[in-house]
Chains A and B, each alone.
Chain A
Amino acid sequence: MGTTLKWFFLIFILVLLFLINLSFGSVDIPLIAIFRMLLLQEAENPIWTSILMDFRMTKAFTCVLAGSDLSLGGLQMQTLFRNPLAGPDVLGLTSGASLAVSLILMSNAVSFTFFSTGTPWAIAIAASLGCVSVFIIMLAFSSKLQDNVSLLIIGLMVGAGTSAIVSVLQYLSRAEEMQTYMLWTFGSLGGLNWNELLVLTSILFIGIIIASASIKSLNTWLLGDLYARSLGIDINRSRFFIILSASVLTGGVTAFCGPIAFVGLAVPHLVKLVINTSNHKVLIPAVLLGGAILLLLCDILTQLPGNNSVLPINAITAMIGAPVVIWVILKNKRIDV
């Protein structure tokens, strides 16, 4: 298949999945009615318009934005660390967010109250603060450490440390509080309104702009830091911007949707199977598309049980992501970034 054809194919799949995603939901709306509403014609049932525009459309856009965000973050982390198992959460950002959110939802357990209640905005702000704190910690380490492997290990350790604190909170908290927290960790793509979507869109744009400015250095990171420097890349500056971009992207999604797992790890590998390149000039738009496609697909699958029951999104992303990554490794015998 020619390269141009592949791009058209990916865009076609994206549009198709977007439409299918719109057609799924607890209320049965005929496909033809959805098309009519999309063409701004009057719907037979006015409630349908509200359902489509305020619930399904926002959710589908959330899938597109969150999928693109996480995949771009994952691609940058895999390239920076030259590690195929790196993902957007490798710096411990998600763990930082989890800790902050768990403090809100379960801090009563240690007779100690942060914000009063777990309103969505309180959770989003807490998650952002958690991400930002870890980001600042990691940045401090990255200016101290020359090599990326040390940074990667510190990221994992920060993650392990915060998870430990979360475990203590879970152990001490009541069942209802723990359940609220557990539900948050399952991830959720619904429930965002158009204003929140606007924030998520801005975050994506900021992430894309920083990543695009790093195209050249991202490519040279594939050869390792010494070659990158020999080609004139200021690696400390480059590392700062790559971490900044990945942090903004991951932090934004985690704040609004919870910790969505696996998408950021799996999409770069899947995209590299379809688009045969290692050039980030091509890979960046490709993973944006790929991430949107995968998360739309996963969200459709969460609704397959029917009868108003919806599976948690993280269950599906891992259920799809894990076998796919295993298959990629078996097929190629080896896996490179």
Chain B
Amino acid sequence: MSLYTKALSIGYNNQVLFENINLSLNKGQLVCFMGPNGIGKSSLIRTLAGLQKPLAGEVNLSGNDSSFHPKEIAVVLTNKVTAANMTVYELVTFGRYPYTNWNIKLSSHDLKAVEGAIEKVRLYDITDKRIAELSDGQLQMTMIARAIAQDTPIIMLDEPTAHLDLNNRVEIMRLLRSLSHEMNKAILVATHELDLALQTADLIWLAGKNKNILKGIPEDLVLNGSFDEIFQFKGFDLKTGKIQHQLFREQTIFLTGTGHEFLWTKNALERTGFKIISHAEDASTYGISVYVIVEESKPHWILNKYNQQYKLSSIEALIQQL
């Protein structure tokens, strides 16, 4: 089961968002669809899912050509769901609606799919909770469980990690990755969060400037500068993954050491505006040098400042002494 588009154009009556798009979404792949806010990510997801009519071209689903695909595509949208009294369990059972008759009688197979989805997303502690009482992260997880219960080969998610803290964001992306790889689903995630997408996606679709979509694996798109061109980073170096700091102190420090302690010290000193040198033939040419050493699994910093030596036990103290 895969989905592909032929010369697809999407948008609204007076505004074309994407033109002549040819994409394919294959099983076993986690695809992140990236682009700045407002470029039309949600519209593309809705069009691919059959919830919005394309302006031109077509979306094809191998083996099915009706406009609704409730047994092939499940969606998680940005629309917030509220309903008095509805519990997490009830919300997950909505995933089985395409398989039930008007009376919504759940078969044992349906119940098993619901239980399976709850287990996969690890919701068992909150199944009886009302959705009005959930945190944003829990509600998002519940919506994802509902999509899993729908038992479709394709799942599309629109900004599933928006408004969530780092922990929840990582958890959701890991879950989506495992769904695509272990359950062999095709998963499409629209997101504008670079860091997570770069580390989890098998494939990136990048919304281009000319109503086109660039495709590629994350690393290629980073190295060929596609991301820089589209996101127009201001003060962020994607190739190192770091924020560029201004060296406002005009002071160079020679820093040596190993491991995490060394990296975090370097971070802190760069953030506070020092230029850092770690490889030099003669350390004594620099007025200031810092050695990061670890003794009995406790880090210490030896600071040599114009022939005076200090031994410090924290980076904060080090920066103050500097």
Q: Which residues from chain A sit less than 8 Å from chain B, CB to CB? A: 212-213, 215-216, 219-220, 222-224, 226-227, 229-234, 272, 276-279, 281, 334-337
SS class, residues of chain B in contact with chain A: loop
Residue from B90, B97, B104 within 8 A of A232 (CB atoms): B97
Alpha-carbon distance A278/B90, docked complex (angstroms): 9
Q: List 15 A-B contacts (CB under 8 A).
A: A215-B103, A216-B102, A219-B104, A222-B81, A224-B81, A226-B77, A227-B77, A230-B73, A232-B68, A232-B70, A234-B68, A272-B84, A276-B85, A278-B85, A336-B84
B84 adjacent to A335 (CB under 8 Å): yes
Q: Are A230 and B104 in contact (CB under 8 A)?
A: no
The total of Cβ contacts below 8 Å across the A-B interface reads: 79
How close is A283's CB to chain B, nearest CB, in angstroms? 9
Pick the contact of B97: A216, A226, A272, A336 (CB < 8 A): A216
B46 within 8 A of A: yes
B82 at the interface (CB under 8 A from A): yes
Q: Which residues of B are found within 8 Å of A234, using beta-carbon distances? A: 68
Contact assessment for B102 and A213 in the assembled complex, using a CB-CB cutoff below 8 Å:
yes
- Given A215-B102, A230-B75, A334-B132, A222 and B97 contact (CB-CB distance below 8 Å): no
Does B201 sit within 8 A of A, measured CB to CB? Answer: no
**Contact call A229/B51, Cβ cutoff below 8 A:** yes
Query: Which chain A residues border B50 with CB–CB below 8 Å?
Result: 229
**What residues of A have a CB within 8 angstroms of the CB of B84 in the complex?**
272, 278, 335-337
A321 to B164, CA, bound (A): 40
Chain B residues with Cβ below 8 Å from A276 are 85
A227-B77, A277-B85 given; 8 more Cβ-contact pairs under 8 Å: A216-B100, A219-B94, A220-B94, A222-B86, A226-B46, A230-B68, A233-B97, A336-B83
B46 proximity list for chain A (CB < 8 A): 226
Q: How many Å lie between the Cα of A303 and that of B84 in the bound state?
A: 35
Whether B74 contacts A227 by the Cβ 8 Å rule is no
Contacts of B83 in A (CB 8 A): 222-223, 278, 336-337
Contact digits for B97-112, partner A, Cβ 8 Å, 1 yes 0 no: 1101011100000000
Q: Bound complex: CA of A205 vs CA of B209, how far in Å? A: 58
Interface string of B61-75 (1 = CB under 8 A from A): 000000010110111
Q: Hey, which chain B residues are within 8 Å of A336, CB to CB?
A: 82-84, 132
B49 at the interface (CB under 8 A from A): yes
B285 within 8 A of partner (CB) = no
Q: Is B321 an interface residue (CB 8 A)?
A: no
Q: How far is the CB of B13 from chain A (nearest CB, A)?
A: 12
Q: Cβ of B79 < 8 Å from any Cβ of A?
A: yes
Once A216-B104, A232-B97, A277-B85 are accepted as A-B contacts, the answer to whether A226 and B79 lie under 8 Å apart by CB is yes
Establish whether residues B102 and A230, one from each chain, have CB atoms under 8 Å apart when the complex forms: no
Least CB separation from A281: chain B residue = B104
Of chain A, the residue at the smallest CB distance from B74 is A230
Least Cβ–Cβ distance between A237 and chain B, in angstroms:
12
> Are A230 and B132 in touch, CB under 8 angstroms?
no
B102-A227 in contact (CB<8A): no
A281 CB to closest chain B CB (Å) equals 6
Q: Are B86 and A278 in contact (CB under 8 A)?
A: yes
For B97, the closest partner residue in chain A by CB is A231
Query: For residue B90, which residues in chain A have a CB less than 8 angstroms away from its CB?
Result: 277-279
Closest A residue to B156 by beta carbon equals A230
Residues of B within 8 A of A337 (CB): 82-84
Question: Contact: A224 with B79, CB < 8 Å?
Answer: yes
Question: Which residues of the partner chain B approach A215 to less than 8 Å between Cβ atoms?
Answer: 102-104
Which A residues are in CB contact (< 8 Å) with B102?
A: 212-213, 215-216
Q: How far, in angstroms, from A328 to B121 measured CA to CA in the complex?
A: 34
The docked-state distance in angstroms from the alpha carbon of A177 to that of B83 is 46
In the complex the two chains form, is A223's CB within 8 Å of B94's CB?
A: yes
Complex CA–CA separation, A223 to B79 (angstroms) = 8
> Which residues of A have CB within 8 Å of B81?
222-224, 227
Measured in the bound complex, the distance between the Cα atoms of B130 and A334 in whole Å is 14
Mask, B257-275, CB within 8 Å of A = 1, is 0000000000000000000
Q: How far is the CA of A83 from the CA of B189 in the complex (A)?
A: 30
Which residues of chain B from 15 to 71 have any CB-CB distance to chain A below 8 Å in the complex?
46, 49-51, 68, 70-71
Q: Are B132 and A220 in contact (CB under 8 A)?
A: no
3 residue pairs, one from A and one from B, having the closest CB atoms? A232-B70, A278-B86, A336-B84
Q: In the bound complex, do residue B86 and residue A231 qualify as a contact, i.e. CB atoms below 8 Å apart?
A: no
Taking A230-B70, A232-B70 as contacts, is the C-beta distance between A272 and B132 under 8 angstroms? no
Residues of B within 8 A of A223 (CB): 79, 81, 83, 94
